[in-house]
Structure 1
Amino acid sequence: MTDRRAHLAYLNRRRMLMGTAGFAAAAGTGVLPGRLLAQEPISVAGIYTVPVEQQWVSRIHKAAEAAKADGQITYTFSENTANTDYPRVMREYAESGAKLIVGEIFGVEQEAREVVLDYPDTAFLLGSSFMPDPAYPNLAVFDNYIQDASYLSGIIAGAMTESGNIGMVGGFPIPEVNRLMHAFMAGVREMTPEAEFQVSFIGSWFDPPKAKETAFAMIENGADLLYAERFGVSDAAQERDILAIGNVIDTQEEYPDTVVASAIWHFEPTLQAALAKVADGSFEADNYGVYSFMKHGGCSLAPLGTFEGKVPQAALDLVAEKEAAIKSGEFTVEIDDTEPTSS
């Protein structure tokens, strides 16, 4: 009991550092080969701390809706769930008979684990900053490890910037954001080794006006391209007639003259792997983050679309070379979870 209390105390300290905001974080479905074909639909419940339109959560919701349409699952969800209510909603869904509960517990790591222990027959697949722990055998964790696609989007950004001054606006400086920013910056330096970065975090997962104002300040400070980790950044880029790189979802349709490329997260491989384990009774504490890697179909670079023919061929050649090497295992994009800083 002493070790468990120490672990929970550590989780609580991390929650305090993060604040009480919940985490959040298009092409193809990325469904795993041999996709689960259950005789009876599996009851799935989603619990989200932000609207399902938000980038990160939208990818989970999209995958669940696809599985529902395919007859694999029944699906219900709660959005805009406050962290203070999150454990209660977990209990309600578990009590109602949900076989698999998905969501994100970045702001309630300790409390969620206490709930998990009370429902050993329910499978929990939850976004978390921590690795799986056998002390919570029915809790599997995941995250959007899309550093592969972020790196490739950085190569394109490095070829499109003229000043070499790039602005980057994030939500919170936690691993889930940091690793994508670092991968993007590494890609930029492949084309523009002397690039400089303005890095700022707005302290929110969904505050487009604040993200927009932060981006405006970076543009005033010389940035000619923005990394849009949050909603609102591409709006600033569009208004000031500069370029942007998207994250998690493809927003080029909304910003056809602004968003050059985006690193896309596909949650389908993660969900399908979990459903298969639930169906055969082998679900256990595991790290499902690996299913976000490009080699598993968990991420991709969005099509250039309106920017077809506008990106230098040297960058496109390098993207193709690196993408093939990533998929074959010959090249690995570094996972750096440390907080990035302005250069």
Structure 2
Amino acid sequence: MYKNLTRGRLAAWIAGLSLWAAAASAENAAPLNVAFVYVSPIGDAGWTYQHDLGRRAMEEALGSRVSTTVVESVAEGPDSERVIRDLAAQDHRLIFATSFGYLEPTLRVAADFPNVRFEHAGGYKTAPNVNTYNARYYEPRYLAGLLAGKMSQTGVAGYVAGFPVPEVIQGINAFTLGMREANPKAQVKVLWLNTWFDPAKEREAALTLVHQGADVLTNHSGSTAVAQTAEEKGVKLVAYQSDMRRFAPNAQLTAITHQWGGYYTRVAQAVLAGTWKPEPVWGGMKDGFVALAPLHPSVPAEVSALVDAKRRAIVAGRFKPFSGRLVDHLGKLRLQQGAMSDEAIATMNWFVQGVVGSLPTR
């Protein structure tokens, strides 16, 4: 009996030692090296700033389990491939490529580094080690258009846009549909930048739209220039990507904000756990990927209530912005009834009625 007791204690001691060793090994394990490639400076607001907030949230959530590297102001094209390739070669096991034009470079690098996991923002192609993720920005765009339609005196909004990719076109169309729900005669005038980040060009485009009668401005570009121009010229603003109240305290009606922290944390956890898979993600307001900032105090209570009711309908799935009878800006019927499919939305290359502007080829 004494011998059995001794053996039992020894077994328990060995088991405890094994658990301690495993815990110590996990604690001392090298962190997951995660890299983020940005198309513009991080700055104080905008597209890149929101992605970097997501990175910081991931770091806070996972602590010493991750170590991050950031490369700012990386141009789309050959330069991005060089940067992504260097990061993969430097033992980064997870790389987030956060601009649309990084897709093909990412795919080329991924083919040469099969043990690295790549996540591309806004892309439409995957590979065994490349995933894509995006947000349904068009959902709060619709709400913002509804708000703009209620608050505009001229019935004209100005839209400063980067490139004519489907994500941008979706936003323009959803904003216009929302605005015309409030005012069936409303117009949304679009000016293209052919760049994602150029404060001088963004400001010039915003000024041109104000001179063309727009009393509400919005944008799909990377700096604070449109917000600052709206504040300067005394017109209303629907900010994009970040809450721009500090840059346009009087002008901003609301902002469409991007929220990446939760997603980045989940992806890193999946890589750490060995469960990561290339499963494209397209999250909406209900998923917390995108949100509408608080409305300006000057917005009438009944307008706030209308916007909130529509927001709740979108989150609950009772309303979809691209539904009902949809006619394009050339008069062609695009949808008779029901709701557009995700595939049709994802490949959108036409404007709805009410948009004033052309669709150049990128």
For normalisation by structure 2, the TM-score amounts to 0.77
- Indicate whether 1:320 and 2:339 are aligned: no
1:211 is displaced (CA, Å) by: 1.5
Report what 1:338 is aligned to: 349
Structure 1 residue matching 2:229: 3-state secondary structure:
helix
Structure 2: 5+ residue runs without aligned partners? 1-25, 323-344, 358-362
In 1, the alpha carbon distance for the partners of 2:191 and 2:241 equals 18
* Structure-1 residue corresponding to 2:244: 251
Distance 1:324 1:105, change over 3 A: closer
Unpaired segments ≥5 residues, structure 1: 1-37
Paired with 1:94 and 1:74, the residues of 2 have a C-alpha distance of 14
Task: Tell me how far apart the structure 2 counterparts of residues 86 and 224 of structure 1 sit (CA, whole Å).
Answer: 38
1:56 paired to 2:47: yes
| Local SS of the residue matching 1:107 | helix
* Contact 2:154 2:215 (C-alpha < 8 Å) held by counterparts: yes
Aligned residue for 2:259? 266
Q: How many Å separate the matches in 1 of 2:233 and 2:50?
A: 29
Query: C-alpha distance in 1, partners of 2:41/2:93?
Result: 23
**Deviations along 1:170-211, whole A, 9 cap, x unmatched?**
111112211122221122122112101211111111111112
| Partner residue of 2:280 out of 287, 294, 298 | 287
Q: Does 1:109 align with 2:100?
A: no
Residue 185 of structure 1: aligned partner: 176
1:129 alignment partner AA? G
The letter for the 1-side match of 2:86 is: E
* Identity value in percent: 29
Q: Which has the larger radius of gyration?
A: 2
1:80 aligned onto 2:80: no
Cα distance in structure 2, aligned partners of 1:236 and 1:58: 20
1:238 paired to 2:228: no
Please give the secondary structure, in 2, of the residue aligned with 1:283: coil
In the alignment, residue 170 of structure 2 is paired with which amino acid?
A: R
CA distance in 2, matches of 1:339, 1:265: 25
Rounded to whole Å, the distance in 2 between the matches of 1:85 and 1:225 is 36
2-structure distance, mates of 1:270, 1:193? 37
Q: Aligned Cα RMSD in Å?
A: 2.0
What is the letter of the counterpart of residue 173 of structure 1? P
Q: Pick from 66, 75, 92: which aligns with 1:98?
A: 92
**SS state at 1:143 partner:** strand
2:208 to 217, 229, 249: 217
Q: CA deviation at 1:131?
A: 4.1
Report SS of the residue matched to 1:98.
coil
Supply the distance in 2 between the matched residues of 1:311 and 1:151 (Cα, whole angstroms).
17
1:105, 1:112 within 8 Å by CA — same for their partners in 2?
A: no
8 Å CA contact retained: 1:228, 1:244 = no
**Equivalent residue letter for 2:155:** G
CA contact (8 A) 2:58 2:262 kept: no
**How far off is 1:299 after superposition?**
1.0
Distance 2:88 2:68 in 1: 13
What count of residue pairs does the alignment treat as equivalent? 298
Deviation at 1:286, TM superposition (A): 1.7
Following superposition, the deviation at residue 52 of structure 1 comes to 1.7
**Cα separation, 1, equivalents of 2:241 and 2:105:** 27
Aligned to 1:147: 138
* Structure 2 CA distance for aligned equivalents of residues 110 and 229 of structure 1: 22
2:37 to 29, 37, 47: 47
Deviation at 1:253, TM superposition (A): 1.6
2:166 maps to a residue whose letter is P
2:195 to 176, 189, 204: 204
* SS of alignment partner, residue 190 of structure 1: helix
One-letter code aligned to 2:40? V
Which residue number corresponds to residue 25 of structure 1? none
The letter of the residue matching 1:222 is G
What is the rounded CA distance, in whole Å, between the counterparts of 1:171 and 1:227 in structure 2? Answer: 12
- SS of the counterpart of 2:78? coil
Cα pair distance change 1:271/1:265, threshold 3 Å: same
Q: Which amino acid aligns with 2:304?
A: L
Q: How does 1:6-85 map to 2 (within 5 A)?
A: 41-53=31-43, 55-70=46-61, 71=63, 72-82=65-75, 83-85=77-79
Contact 1:47/1:79 (8 A) holds in 2? yes
* Larger RCO (CA under 8 A, 6+ residues apart): 1
Contact conserved, 1:213 with 1:236, CA < 8 A, in 2? no
Give the superposition deviation at 1:314. Answer: 2.9
Question: Do the aligned partners of 1:169 and 1:211 also contact (CA within 8 Å) in 2?
Answer: yes
SS, match of residue 295 in structure 1 = helix
